[in-house]
């Protein structure tokens, strides 16, 4: 082969090799490129299940004192999915601060509002103890007040993610009454949700409102929540549907009503996750032998997004 042709073939071979290397490098670069939340594609894919059945019941001492909290792992998962380090996470129905603890663990700033002073104090104590374990530069604040005043405490367009669980109107009061009468001997009384008690006697406690008033007030909170959410930010609501058999209402579709309210105030309905809790609850016999009802053993996580 003449020398010039040999040189040409060598150059072509080098170019092909370089192109191959470059594309491998490109693939690697794309593979490791973090998303808006800091997740790599494989972490992203692993978190994308829409049925969650791997979360165990909350067992920390403080969580047992409240009786209606969600697991830290649940809040952590939502925070990893919808925010990045340094973002602001918010919970208007803060309880004992589970959302804030999860935010603290994951280096996000967090603010919570809780009406009951007893729960707000527990949240403060828990955050202080946890801070010593996970020392970060992020700020945490729990406000003891009515979340209807949330705009007094949170700046407009500041929150990347809300993770919250409101009371379900006066459902807890109703179910406690129900257990005293109908389910006197049922396993329901002794096992499922047996630690549940009303949050407070306060008039402005959402857990003391009838369903219609409750939805009206919740609409106001959603409206204010939209205003404090940053453009592109998210709002995740952990809720349950329930039955009001005493008033002959077989099914109260709270998660659908909430989704409707959120859209009315201007949020986009972004996603829906089912939190399957069947593994943690015994089945009870409902309506037997005349009317068939299923056990309500899952919660819904309604995800809204602000897109302007």
Ligand X SMILES: C[S@@+](CC[C@H](N)C(=O)[O-])C[C@H]1O[C@@H](n2cnc3c(N)ncnc32)[C@H](O)[C@@H]1O
For residue 230, which of 303, 157, 151, 161 has the smallest C-alpha distance? 157
Contact call for residue 100 and ligand X (CB under 6 A): no
CB closer to ligand X out of 143 and 259: 143
Binding ligand X by CB under 6 A: which of 90, 119, 211, 214? 119
Q: What is the DSSP string of 71-130?
A: -HHHHHHHHHHH--TT-EEEETT-TT-HHHHHHHHTT-EEEEEES-HHHHHHHHHHHHHH
Distances (CA, A) of 107 to 104, 120, 191, 211: 5, 21, 36, 37
Q: Looking at residues 4 to 63 of the shown chain, list those that interact with ligand X (rule: CB under 6 A).
A: none
CB closer to ligand X out of 128 and 283: 128
Residue nearest to ligand X (CB): 95
**For residue 102, what are its two tokens?**
């999860």
Contact call for residue 237 and ligand X (CB under 6 A): no
The contact pattern for ligand X, residues 59-78, with x = CB under 6 A and - = no contact, is: -------x-xxx--------
Shortest Å, Cβ 303 to ligand X = 16
**Residue pointed to by tokens 């994308």:** 48
**For residue 290, what are its two tokens?**
């005349």
**Longest distance between any two alpha carbons in the chain, whole Å:** 101
Torsion on CA atoms 155, 157, 159, 160, rounded to nearest 10 = -160
Q: Which stretch binds ligand X (CB under 6 A): 15-23, 95-103, 179-187, 266-274?
A: 95-103
Shortest Å, Cβ 289 to ligand X = 34
Total number of residues binding ligand X (CB under 6 A)? 24
**Radius of gyration (C-alpha) of the chain in whole angstroms:** 25
Shortest Å, Cβ 145 to ligand X = 7
Binding ligand X by CB under 6 A: which of 165, 235, 277, 299? 165
Contact call for residue 206 and ligand X (CB under 6 A): yes
**For residue 63, what are its two tokens?**
């969580």
Contact call for residue 205 and ligand X (CB under 6 A): yes
Contact call for residue 116 and ligand X (CB under 6 A): yes
Contact call for residue 95 and ligand X (CB under 6 A): yes
Q: Are 111 and 154 spatial neighbours (Cβ–Cβ below 8 Å)?
A: yes
Binding ligand X by CB under 6 A: which of 90, 93, 300, 304? 93
Task: Write out the residues near ligand X by the rule CB under 6 A.
Answer: 66, 68-70, 93, 95-96, 98, 113-116, 119, 146-147, 165-167, 199-200, 204-207
């Amino acid at each position: 082969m003449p020398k010039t042709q040999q040189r040409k073939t060598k150059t072509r071979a080098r170019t092909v090799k370089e192109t191959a290397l470059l594309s491998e490098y490109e693939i690697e670069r794309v593979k490791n490129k973090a998303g808006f939340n800091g997740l790599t594609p494989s972490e992203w894919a692993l978190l994308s299940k829409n049925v969650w059945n791997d979360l165990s019941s909350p067992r920390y001492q403080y969580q047992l004192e409240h009786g209606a909290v969600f697991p830290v792992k649940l809040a952590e998962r939502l925070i990893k999915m919808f925010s990045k380090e340094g973002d602001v996470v918010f919970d208007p129905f803060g309880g004992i601060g589970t959302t804030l603890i999860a935010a603290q663990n994951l280096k996000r700033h967090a603010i919570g509002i809780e009406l009951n002073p007893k729960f707000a104090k527990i949240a403060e104590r828990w955050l202080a103890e946890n801070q010593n374990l996970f020392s970060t530069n992020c700020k945490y604040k729990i406000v003891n007040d009515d979340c209807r005043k949330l705009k007094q405490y949170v700046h407009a367009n500041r929150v990347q993610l809300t993770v919250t669980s409101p009371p379900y109107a006066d459902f807890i009061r109703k179910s406690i009454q129900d257990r005293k009468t109908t389910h006197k001997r049922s396993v329901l009384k002794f096992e499922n949700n047996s630690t549940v008690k009303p949050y407070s006697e306060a008039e402005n406690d959402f857990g003391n409102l009838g369903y219609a008033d409750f939805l009206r007030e919740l609409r106001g909170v959603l409206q204010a929540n939209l205003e404090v959410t940053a453009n592109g930010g998210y709002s995740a609501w952990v809720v349950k549907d329930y039955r009001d058999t005493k008033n002959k209402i077989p099914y109260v579709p709270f998660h659908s009503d909430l989704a409707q309210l959120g859209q009315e105030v201007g949020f986009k309905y972004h996603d829906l996750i089912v939190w399957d809790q069947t593994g943690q609850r015994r089945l009870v016999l409902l309506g037997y032998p005349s009317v068939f009802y299923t056990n309500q053993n899952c919660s819904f996580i309604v995800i809204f997004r602000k897109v302007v």
